[in-house]
Chain A
Amino acid sequence: MTNNSLSNEEIRRYSRHLILPEFGMTGQRRVKHGSVLLIGTGGLGSPLALYLAAAGVGHLGLVDFDVVDESNLQRQIVHGTSTLGIAKTESARRRLRDLNPHIEITTYEEQMTSENALELMRPYDVIVDGTDNFPTRYLTNDASVMLGKPNVYGSIFRFEGQATVFYPKEGGPCYRCLYPEPPPPGLVPSCAEGGVLGVLPGVIGTIQATETLKLLAGIGEPLVGRLLLYDALSMRFRELKLRRNPDCPVCGEHPTVTELIDYEQFCGIIPEPMRASAYEITPVEVSEWLHSDDPPFLLDVREPNEWEIGHLPDAMRISVNELQGRLNELDTAREMVVYCRSGVRSGRAVDMLRQAGFRKVKNMTGGILRWADEVDPSIPKY
């Protein structure tokens, strides 16, 4: 049958789509012949992968280099307890294979970089941004613009989400029109530091999945040129206008960025070895020092709710954001070790303290997470 590429089995499976007048056989065939590259198989990527697979997207590509961790399962619903420790791409493939054996799934267990991004994206019709960091977001954007592909964007933080479709080829703006430059590292807290409501990426990822299906099926009004904002706490959706910036360095009239760049450098991320190692101290060294005759003063720069989960004995807590205003509570003459969850915020605190004249201050590398691994496993990891 030339005009019907769906098998009887597929027709049974997709019948609720087929009886939608707006969707029908035409929409379903387009979806079946469509391909989508999902960048990230985490919080946003989970509902995306599940719904797109269930809907019968013919070819799904999954890019992720991470493995499934217990702390992912609160929101990354494509994974499960049985796939803990397994590559996320493989974990997702198993679940999706069970959900829909009719589709093709290609997994890329690697990090998307400036070197491989164009090659990864080229075979796909729609690019979906389910990433969690600024360098990959700018990379995804720039590569999509260069290839003329739609980039279905979603982003989340704590209780808040954003979604839109960047599609300059069809006249819409790109991510750089919205935000020409990323915030410097550390200014905006991350989900690992700030937390995220587990169901939030479900809402935003499902909106991205909806937009992806609409693009493939060619129905409805795409979320181009509009930024959808969602606030779970007040349960409100709002919409803002997004305009194409004629001076945009990537999609503007005279683009200055015409090939992919070093996105870590663009986002101000300093490679680990460049951090002043003289100010770093390992948890094992801290533990030995604490048991010596001259133990250091311990400063915990996390938030009260994190302190409640667990903390080191005899530590004092001042949130990193309050530190500047409470320096008078600290003794510049005393040896001090600063720690947080993973060593990022405490690294910032150490920089700040050194600038304020504290010479005897060190950062506990890897934070309380590494302390739990190497010194005291009774401290809970979160």
Chain B
Amino acid sequence: MAVTVSIPTALRQYADGRASVELAGGPVGQLLANLVEQYPQLGRQLYGDGGQLRSFVNVYVGDEDIRYLQGANTIVPDGETVSIIPAIAGGNVQTFKRSNV
């Protein structure tokens, strides 16, 4: 049994269009590092220049935010789901002066 990492729509283009990826269990930080190794383009989306998880990307193990567990050291047991949940706004990020959701 492996761990399922669910990839949100907004980031699928950086993961060959995959909606989910199966990886071996372990600490969630290591698991995400393995994911980025497999899909290097995801790295820039998930991590800032200092290597920390970006503040508009949250990672959940099951239904709990890792910020309220043990962060990157949170152990993901086999069979569990890891979700990457980025902030989504809907419409045009660039032009504040529009509202066509």
Chain A 250-294 near chain B by CB (<8 Å), digits 1 or 0? 000000000000011001010000000000000000000000000
Residue B93 at the chain A interface, CB threshold 8 Å: yes
Interface size class of B (residues with CB under 8 A): 35 or more
Q: Are B58 and A132 in contact (CB under 8 A)?
A: no
Shortest B13–chain A CB gap in Å is: 6
For residues 14 through 51 of chain B, which have their beta carbon under 8 Å from a beta carbon of chain A?
14, 19, 41, 45
Please count how many residues in chain A sit with their CB below 8 Å of the partner chain's CB atoms: 67
The distance in angstroms between the C-alpha atoms of A133 and B58, with both chains bound, is 19
Q: Which residues of B contact A234 (CB under 8 A)?
A: 19
The residue that A192 contacts in the complex, of B58, B92, B96, with Cβ under 8 A, is B92
Q: Known: A132-B100, A191-B90. Is A183-B54 also a contact (CB below 8 A)?
A: yes
Q: Are B85 and A241 in contact (CB under 8 A)?
A: no
Q: Which of A1-9, A61-69, A328-336 contacts B (4 or more CB under 8 A)?
A: A61-69
The distance in angstroms between the C-alpha atoms of A162 and B14, with both chains bound, is 21
For residues 80 through 95 of chain B, which have their beta carbon under 8 Å from a beta carbon of chain A?
83, 85-95
Residues of B at the A interface (CB closer than 8 Å) are 8-10, 13-14, 19, 41, 45, 54-56, 58, 60, 63-65, 67-68, 83, 85-101
A sample of 19 inter-chain contacts (CB < 8 A) reads A111-B96, A131-B90, A132-B101, A133-B96, A156-B88, A158-B9, A159-B9, A160-B8, A160-B88, A178-B58, A179-B58, A183-B54, A183-B86, A190-B89, A191-B100, A194-B10, A245-B67, A269-B93, A344-B95
Given contacts A132-B91, A194-B10, A238-B63, 15 further A-B contacts (CB under 8 A): A43-B100, A66-B98, A75-B101, A132-B98, A135-B96, A155-B89, A155-B90, A179-B55, A186-B94, A190-B90, A227-B85, A240-B64, A240-B65, A240-B85, A269-B96
